[in-house]
Copies of this chain bind each other. A is one copy, B any other.
Amino acid sequence: MPTAHHEKNARTTGRPTLNEVAKRAGVSPITASRALRGISTVAEELAQKVRDAARELGYVVNPAARALASAQSQAVVVLVPSLANQLFVETLEAIHNVMRPKGLEVLIGNFHYSRDEEENLLRNYLAYQPRGLLLTGFERTESARRMIEASGVPCVYMMDLDPGAGLHCVGFSQLDAGATAARHLLERGRKRLAFVGAQLDQRTLLRAEGFRRELQRAGVYEPSLELLTPRPSSVGLGGELFTQLLVSHPQLDGIFFGNDDLAQGALLEALRLGIKVPEQVAVLGFNDLPSSAFMVPRLSSIRTPRQAIGQRAAELVLSLIAGETVTQPVQDMGFELMVRESS
């Protein structure tokens, strides 16, 4: 009776190894490895034998061994501030669709709008030696920045455009989006305009800034009509803030919400309060979530290209990973004003 430690593979799960595949195919392990990775130096005949053997044995590569030996995983890390916002789910989806066919895993990290949490996730995930990094925005700890830099892992920043233009990024100008919102409302003849934002990440703040500047230019900027709260964005909160704003500023004739869920909550509350939208107050949302077009009245919003951003950003890291020279480090995907019934 052999004792465990005398046997080869005593600790393994019993999963077939590359060695076994190689033996069955009558080649050396390294040839099997090359064949399975599709390296073209292997004769097609041998490669076929190896693939057959692998299939017959039900061989699946051990990612840990591969990562250890090659000092690289097959993973791409994506860090988003939230999954509660449908926005990022759609972006993630698009990234997946680009990465999966390339055999890359997508590791999702949700940092809940917390810089510290993002830094932790980064430290953690970087230990996995990912092939690429997809991050959200430019706002992070100095330490996180250093880790990214030091890791040397190709990195693309999503959602906003780098003012410094030193980083690879795919997004749109949050500042312009805010300005566009203001211009639209102004063109509608509105003069007493408010901005309502929750979950104050840098992008929301940038939109507020763009909105504000445009109002200042038009000479109608009123500081007390800016309602910013760090509370998480939600439909309920939108209704609450809407009421609060109307009570304190009954003269109000237009509101730009930093997020569609807030705007939807406002629309619902207006219905309850009997406040006419857009007659008394125009309401403009941001992101154009799928349900916004079905609100009563249908919500006007600024549609953001999150799907396109995800796809393009993924393709961009892929290029970076492949070592290709990227001629367009900053990719502006724009946004679209959807005018419907609420404004």
Known: A67-B64, A127-B61. A272 touches B296 (CB 8 A): yes
Which of the four size classes fits the interface of chain A?
A: 35 or more
A296 surroundings in chain B (CB, below 8 A): 268, 271-272, 296
Known contacts being A86-B84, A236-B291, A291-B236, is A64 close to B60, with CB within 8 Å? Answer: no
Residue of B65, B127, B234, B271 near A271 (CB, 8 A) is B271
Q: Which of B124, B151, B290 contacts A236 (CB 8 A)?
A: B290
Please measure, in the bound complex, the distance between the C-alpha atom of A61 and the C-alpha atom of B64, giving whole angstroms.
Answer: 13
Please, what's the 1-or-0 string for A57-97, where 1 marks a CB less than 8 Å from any CB in chain B? 00011111111100101000000000110100100110010
- The answer to whether A92 and B83 have CB atoms under 8 Å apart is yes
Q: Tell me if A105 counts as interface (CB < 8 A to partner B).
A: yes
Query: Does A239 make an interface contact (CB < 8 A)?
Result: yes
Do B128 and A63 touch (CB < 8 A)? yes
A117 closest partner in B (C-beta): B100
A interface residues (Cβ-Cβ under 8 A, vs B): 11-13, 60-68, 71, 73, 83-84, 86, 89, 92-93, 96, 105, 107-108, 110, 123-124, 126-129, 151-152, 234-236, 239, 261, 264-265, 268-269, 271-272, 290-291, 293-296
